[in-house]
């Protein structure tokens, strides 16, 4: 059970949300869950299809521009629309619409285990014609370019002429919202239709971006299960294909659409699309569904989290993990955008969200995909090196805060470029991936260079004072506090970055001295520089307040007045939409977890008392205006033994999109929070940590749950973890043996020899 989401609402606001909730994708292509037949003209819609990392470029216009500000930005393009299928009944061509006539029954579902969406409709037209309709659609995980739809029309009281009109439309525009900085604004980006034509049974539309010169093509075919007459009408911007027949029995219409682009398919993507469609033409929709199901069976074997006793949370978890899979890029051009492939919020940019909130799920369930995501960052390293030079640094790599290709796209530097921590975040994730997989080949080919170049950045940015290494004028994760000295999160992550740069340097020196010499020659590295990294790491200044027994967020945070929460109207959240940034910056108020996040990622840097006091302090002044926040507060509440609070924060995180609690799901799903939901279970309730000395667990269980279970992929093994009210059950599903620490006690699990230990209630 709980393998599907359903919603039967026809309310305009909910339909906008459902367009995101019912979106389908495969990491390359994403299609929003719009109605094939469309909505009434007075209904707003964000009708969209997106190719991951397919972008146009626009000039950033500043009122006052300073040196080093990025001059251009990239934006994901809403590409050619292949969703449209309209139905006309009878000689009078009466159009089908859920907003006319009478709905006798209606259901809409998204199937997480089978990878398709479905609408079932029993409809009576205004003139009394009754038919049943069934729409199925999928974006294939097996054939990345394929978007397929199947429509079944069944007569009830109506027998007569029916026409099915399929449209491929190239005249598409992006959505913009001038009143919300989290959504794209209007600019000169866009698509021009280069050609709109037919070749045999294929409808073909080719578009090109205004500025970047990239091309995207859609090649489509339409077939019916009964003999029909066909008419094709082409305009400069679109192709309409009409199939007409007598409806006397159930009839099935199959529409296959292939998306190709110049970034992946080279020149003439339309021709490549035709070739791919010809190869797939013999695949029936049932066969496509079967392939989809097999793919997802394999995915869910390791990825699933089973929860007994809490159906809403079970649905929320699986919904989130399914969309993470749908959003993850699988090639060197792409990663996971903040909204995935479900909408245009944040203009399709990749942030630190990917590495800190989404990558852990893939690292511990699908390490091959995690490697792809980290490799994307390596392909952007040249941009990070150039950005560091533009910021005045002689060495090092500063990764872009917002980007598609690797170039910085953030125009507001206090909450963008100043977040230098992104470079340490990426290095941290490379290390976590290595510790979880033992993939030394990754370190040799990609990871070491990322870790070393980001370590160089900290030597450039920081300085020694009073024997400490300090980092000035940066912004931490909390975007309600900007341009500060010694942000705790930034400093402790930089410390880790520097330490592991020295560690991996010496690791390669011992394992593959020849390769290290090649890297040292190319990067102009030396033993002395590795020594500098180690020295700075050990000397890193980490703010501490002895009176409050907490880690201050930065040097001056505790000197500010606390935000007046009591007199802030509820409708003034999120604060960023109602107050000037300086008003917010001058107060103690946090948009999201900052120091608390640092205590999760690097808990060994502080004793438990400091972590507890910090948690209690920051919880009181955190608004959770960011969707990245509640999952972290849940994890750390679990670590501190406050399981009721941990469940509360988790329950909020698990259904942010399913229940549209932040009010902006229409602009796309909150992918980082979705990854955070998985973390809140695995790292929170189960207490999993990946350390240099191995895998550790500290399991607990929410009061409302009877049982939960999940898998961990660790160094070539698959560990099955089951936690119920009284015990923890561990078994090895792949591999010969694994050593773990549970509640700080070492355990060895052998293949075919599961172990059971008592669940500790107080620890």
Q: What is the pLDDT of residues 409-429, one digit of tens each?
A: 999 999 999 999 999 999 999
The verdict on whether 479 is a catalytic residue reads: yes
CATH number of the CATH domain containing 12: 2.70.98.40
**What whole-number distance in Å separates Cα of residue 271 and Cα of residue 280?**
15
In angstroms, the CA 103 to CA 739 distance is 59
What's the alpha-carbon Rg for the chain, to the nearest Å?
A: 27
Give the span between the Cα atoms of 222 and 245, in whole angstroms: 14
Q: Are 436 and 359 in contact (CB under 8 A)?
A: no
**477's tokens:** 């994760």
Q: Give the chain's domain count.
A: 1
Look at residue 174 in the predicted model and tell me its pLDDT. 86
How buried is residue 103: exposed, middle or buried, by Cβ count under 10 Å (0-12/13-18/19+)?
Answer: middle
Q: Which helix (H) or strand (E) holds 251?
A: strand 251-261
Q: 506 near 531, Cβ under 8 Å?
A: no
Element (H, E) at 610: helix 608-619
pLDDT average, residue stretch 448-471: 98
CA distance 534 to 217: 51
* Residue 686 backbone class (left: φ over 0; alpha: ψ -120 to 50; beta: rest): alpha
Tell whether 698 is covered by a domain: no
Asked, for residue 722, whether it belongs to a domain, the answer is no
End-to-end CA distance of the chain: 33
- For tokens 């690292």, the residue is 363
**Residue located via tokens 């944040």:** 346
Catalytic residue among 150, 315, 344, 479: 479
Q: What is the mean pLDDT of residues 392-415?
A: 97
Query: What is the model's pLDDT at position 603?
Result: 97
Closest CA to 243 of 149, 155, 170, 161: 161
For residue 198 the two structure tokens come to: 């037919």
**Of 111, 173, 148, 147, which is closest to residue 30 (Cα–Cα)?**
147
Q: What is the mean pLDDT of residues 194-206?
A: 95
Answer yes or no: is pLDDT of 183 > 60: no
Q: Annotated binding residue at 524?
A: no
Q: Is 353 known as a binding-site position? A: yes
Residue 195 maps to a domain: yes
In a domain, 250, yes or no: yes
Mean of the per-residue pLDDT values for the chain? 96
Kindly tell me the number of DSSP H helices and DSSP E strands found in the chain: 21, 31
Element (H, E) at 76: strand 72-78
Q: What is the mean pLDDT of residues 307-325?
A: 97
The average pLDDT across 663-684 equals: 97
Predicted pLDDT of residue 63: 87
Question: Is 82 a domain residue?
Answer: yes
Does 56 have pLDDT greater than 80? yes
Structural domain including 88 reads: 4-268
Q: How confident is the model at residue 332 (pLDDT cuts 50, 70, 90)?
A: very high
Say yes or no to pLDDT of 1 above 90: no
Q: What pLDDT is attached to residue 165?
A: 98
pLDDT at 759 over 70: yes
**Read out DSSP for 700-718?**
---TT-SEEEEEEEETTEE
Return d(Cα 106, Cα 132) in angstroms, integer: 10
Measured CA to CA, the distance from residue 233 to residue 175 in angstroms comes to 28
Q: How far apart are CA 196 and CA 209, in angstroms?
A: 15
Residue 214 pLDDT level (bands cut at 50, 70, 90): very high
C-alpha 349/C-alpha 672 separation (Å) is 13
- Domain assignment present for residue 228? The answer is yes
**Residue range 552-566: mean pLDDT, rounded:** 97
Given a cut of 60, whether residue 352 has pLDDT beyond it is: yes
- Is position 28 within any domain? yes
Q: What is the pLDDT of residue 85?
A: 98
Within a domain: residue 606?
Answer: no
pLDDT tens for each residue of 60-90: 999 889 999 999 999 999 999 999 999 999 9
Report the C-alpha gap between 19 and 388 in whole angstroms. Answer: 39
Closest CA to 261 of 331, 200, 317: 331
Q: Dig out the tokens for 730 from the structure.
A: 């561990």
pLDDT at 692: 94
Kindly report, residue by residue over 124-149, the tens digit of the pLDDT.
999 999 999 999 999 999 999 999 99
Token couple for 546: 């002895």
Whole-number pLDDT of residue 541: 98
**403 exposed, middle or buried (CB, 10 Å; 0-12, 13-18, 19+)?**
buried
Task: Name which of 84, 36, 135, 91 is nearest 246 in CA terms.
Answer: 91
Give every CB contact of residue 569 below 8 A, 6+ residues apart in sequence. none
pLDDT tens-place string over residues 270-295: 999 999 999 999 999 999 999 999 99
pLDDT tens, position by position, 5-47: 999 999 999 999 999 999 999 999 999 999 999 999 999 999 9
The verdict on whether residue 3 carries a ligand-binding annotation is no
């Amino acid at each position: 059970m709980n393998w599907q989401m359903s919603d039967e609402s026809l309310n305009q606001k909910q339909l906008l949300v459902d367009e995101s909730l019912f979106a389908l994708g495969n990491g390359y292509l994403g299609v929003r869950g719009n109605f094939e037949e469309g909505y009434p003209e007075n209904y707003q819609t964000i009708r969209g299809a997106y190719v991951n990392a397919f972008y146009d470029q626009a000039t950033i216009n500043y009122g006052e521009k300073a040196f080093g500000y990025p001059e251009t930005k990239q934006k994901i393009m809403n590409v050619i629309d292949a969703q449209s299928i309209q139905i006309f009944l009878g000689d009078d061509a009466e159009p089908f619409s859920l907003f006319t006539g009478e709905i006798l029954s209606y259901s809409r579902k998204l199937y997480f285990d089978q990878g398709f969406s479905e609408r079932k409709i029993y409809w009576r037209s205004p003139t009394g014609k009754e038919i049943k309709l069934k729409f199925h659609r999928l974006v294939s995980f097996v054939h990345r370019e394929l978007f397929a739809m199947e429509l079944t029309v069944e007569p009830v009281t109506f027998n007569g002429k029916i026409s099915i009109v399929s449209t491929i439309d190239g005249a598409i525009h992006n959505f913009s919202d001038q009143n919300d900085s989290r959504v794209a604004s209007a600019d000169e980006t866009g698509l021009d239709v280069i050609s709109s034509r037919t070749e045999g049974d294929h409808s073909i539309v080719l578009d090109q971006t205004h500025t970047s010169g990239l091309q995207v093509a859609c090649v489509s075919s339409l077939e019916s299960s009964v003999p029909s007459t066909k008419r094709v009408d082409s305009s400069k911007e679109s192709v309409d294909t009409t199939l007409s027949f007598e409806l006397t029995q159930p009839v099935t219409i199959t529409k296959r659409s292939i998306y190709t682009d110049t970034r992946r398919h080279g020149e003439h993507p339309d021709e490549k699309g035709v070739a791919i469609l010809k190869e797939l033409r013999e695949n029936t929709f049932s066969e496509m569904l079967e392939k989809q199901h097999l793919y997802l069976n394999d995915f869910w074997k390791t990825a699933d989290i089973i929860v007994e006793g809490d159906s809403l949370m079970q649905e929320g978890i699986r919904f989130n993990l399914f969309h993470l899979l749908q959003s993850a890029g699988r090639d060197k051009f792409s990663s996971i955008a903040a909204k995935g492939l479900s909408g245009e919020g944040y203009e399709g940019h990749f942030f630190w969200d990917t590495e800190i909130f989404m990558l852990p799920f893939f690292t511990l369930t699908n390490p091959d995909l995690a490697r792809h995501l980290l490799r994307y960052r390596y392909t952007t390293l040249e941009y990070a090196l150039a950005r560091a030079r533009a910021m005045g640094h002689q060495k090092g790599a500063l990764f872009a805060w917002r980007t598609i290709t690797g170039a910085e796209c953030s125009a507001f530097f206090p909450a963008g470029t100043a977040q230098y921590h992104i470079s340490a975040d990426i290095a941290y994730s490379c290390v976590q991936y290595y510790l979880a997989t033992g993939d030394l080949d990754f370190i040799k080919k990609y990871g070491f260079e990322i870790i070393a170049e980001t370590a160089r950045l900290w030597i450039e940015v920081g300085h020694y004072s009073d024997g400490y290494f300090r980092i000035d004028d940066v912004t931490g994760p909390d975007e309600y506090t900007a341009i500060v000295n010694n942000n705790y999160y930034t400093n402790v992550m930089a410390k880790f970055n520097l330490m592991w740069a020295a560690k991996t340097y010496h690791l390669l020196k011992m394992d593959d001295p020849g390769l290290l010499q090649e890297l040292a020659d190319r990067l102009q590295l030396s033993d002395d520089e590795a020594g500098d990294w180690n020295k700075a790491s050990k000397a890193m200044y980490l703010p501490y307040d002895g009176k409050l027994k907490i880690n201050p967020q930065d040097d001056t945070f505790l000197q500010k007045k606390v935000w007046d929460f009591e007199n802030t109207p509820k409708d003034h959240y999120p604060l960023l939409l109602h107050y000037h940034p300086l008003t917010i910056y001058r107060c103690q108020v946090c948009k999201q977890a900052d120091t608390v996040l640092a205590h999760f990622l690097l808990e060994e840097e502080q004793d438990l008392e400091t972590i507890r006091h910090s948690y209690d302090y920051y919880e009181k002044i955190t608004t959770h205006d960011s969707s990245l926040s509640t999952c972290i507060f849940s994890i750390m509440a679990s670590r501190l033994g406050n399981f009721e609070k941990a469940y509360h924060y988790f329950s909020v995180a698990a259904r942010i999109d399913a229940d549209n609690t932040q009010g902006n799901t229409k602009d796309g799903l909150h992918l980082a929070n979705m990854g955070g939901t998985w973390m809140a279970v695995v790292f929170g309730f189960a207490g999993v940590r990946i350390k240099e000395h191995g895998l550790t667990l500290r399991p607990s269980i929410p009061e409302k749950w009877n049982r939960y279970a999940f898998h961990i992929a660790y160094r070539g093994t698959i560990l099955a973890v089951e936690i119920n009210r009284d015990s923890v059950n561990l078994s090895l599903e792949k591999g010969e043996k694994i050593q773990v620490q549970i509640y700080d006690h070492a355990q060895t699990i052998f293949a075919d020899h599961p172990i059971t230990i008592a669940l500790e209630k107080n620890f």
